[in-house]
Structure 1
Amino acid sequence: MFLDARRRRLPKLFLLVIALALPLTACGQDLGRSNFGRTTVPAAAGGTGQQTDGPITDAAVAANALRVIKPCQFLTKDALGALGLGTVEEDPSPSSIAFDTCSNKVKDPGGKEIRFEVKVGSTLLPRADKTTGQVGGLPLRVDKSDDTDCLAAAMTALNPDLALAVTVAYPGEPCRPAQTLLEAAVQKVHNSPEKYSTPAGTLLTADPCAMADTATVTAAVPSAKSAPSGLHSCEWKSNGSDPTITVKFLPGLPPIVGGGYSKVDIGGGVTAYQKQPTTSSSRCVVEWQHRPWQGDDVELAQVDYSSYAAEASSDDPCGKAVTVAKNVVGKLPKP
């Protein structure tokens, strides 16, 4: 789950799915043996959080505030070093395909590696029954999938769920460093967090769920219902299932013709690139450059249509994706 190979031309099309359906043992007060001090995340009475359903009204963790927060600030040498978890040898590694994800690693005093990933606005989260208390006034969910992997999440929104999430891989007691880092991150979010610059027209501040008209999406996805799939991604599903339209904003290199991608005009003088993967399902991705980002990278907008129940030959996935893309491009903030 920590791999983030540099995408040289086109964004990855699939999110990594974290298997949380199996019965799991949540981390409680007894976190076992470790080589560093115990975290001080408080537990609510009875072992459940004081708030397990919405709304969360903390302005510091509202979606508009979180969209511009830099995720790597929580994983710098100074930030990790202050937690007393061990030795930090490297600078953090920002994701090359997401604005909101960063990773780094620490060697504990015994020489074992602790691998961290922070995601601001995660939707791949522990279930509500994994709520174990609060962190910084936010509901805390903790899920230990096995002896080496743990996911700790400070819920920033409920129904639909979003969170500031820390994933740890550690051949010790992974929930302890996960909760330790999460507590520090939540404190930082409430106390002058570092933010991206937001030049005119940036997609960083755009709400992807507001970037497509319901009528346009419904033509491709009947009875469409939208829900955020991250701070920079939104899904419309037909009756909560299939087919699906996803609107996503992400960093990446400018798209080009090749690898099955071809040019398509989406209006407003914008050239996009479309690809219909050669799979048994009906799917098409349309993406285009919006504005410069950092270095060689640009801000990309992407529309992804998929239906696993339909045949591509009769479904016209690219026709549907392009129609939505033409709607989205006209609603994006202007550079």
Structure 2
Amino acid sequence: MPVLNEERHLREAVMQVLDQKYGGPIEVVISVGPSKDRTQEVAEAIAAEDPRVVVVANPTGRTPNALNAAVAASSNPIIARVDGHAMLPSDYLQTAVETLEETGADNVGGIMAAEGVSPFEQAVACAMTSKIGVGNARFHTGGEAGPADTVYLGVFRRSALDRVGGYDEHFQRAQDWEMNHRIRETGGLVWFQPRMRVSYRPRPNVRALAKQYFHYGRWRRVVSRTHQGTINLRYLAPPTAVLGIVLGLVATPFFWPAILIPVAYVAAILAGSALTGRQLKPAALVRLPLVYATMHLSWGTGFLTSPRRLSKPRRPEETATLQDLFGG
């Protein structure tokens, strides 16, 4: 469990792990970053109360570093990633272990069940469970059980983590997708199990949501540079929308029909909001178009502006191969 500034939710999240309806032994390793609240004290208090809980330090504050530190401090052959604000259903681990055994998968995971409290959060939850907001990713929108590119959180065989070398600490975001890609590239199976639903609290305002999706887009571009051929049309839709809107606005003074491009986007968002937000209360529904636009345009802008300096340095043997191919 990687945590940073999770004072509010940490105790409840840990208790939901310890209270799992699972017949085998459970240990919880909390990897604590340099928090600005009382996360460290809360984690240490929980560990003092229950010997199954261990606290390790993550001085970098980065998620992949925290995960690797926690895995290294654990001892069991199955590793479940849990977030400090994720609320697990009571049968989560039992379902995961049964699915690992039945499918032979290296990693299983389920649905990121976004649940909002405020009208804005409810709008975000709606957007995060619709294809208009997040495409056809099953861990957002649901679907049949089966092989998947990636899943939410994940319950892994330790042998699979050892095989691929754990989380790549270069990736500040998208580290789950990147590691699942390496698991699949080395012959492993990633399996989506819709019975594994984890409650997720969305970002509470536009600024936080925009920052989240900007970094998603930025680091997904880094992954695509590292692993060629991993970008499809779903990932290209947001940057295409950003380019179309910008070009349309720039060209309009010189060619008035160009305004139809951003107008068409706005019309599509409004129509999509009316279609997908029918179950929302009016206060949440009126916020839904803003939420969709924030998610699309922030992700697309992050993808388009992702700097080359974030790219993972190539290993010496890869550089040598490229020099052989292209003549230095």
User: How would you bin the TM-score normalised by the shorter chain?
Assistant: under 0.3
Superposition TM-score, scaled by structure 2 size: 0.25
Give the number of the structure whose residues are more often helix, by fraction: 2
Higher strand share: 1
What TM-score do the two structures reach when normalised by structure 1?
0.25
Between 1 and 2, higher relative CO (CA 8 Å, sep ≥ 6) is seen in: 2
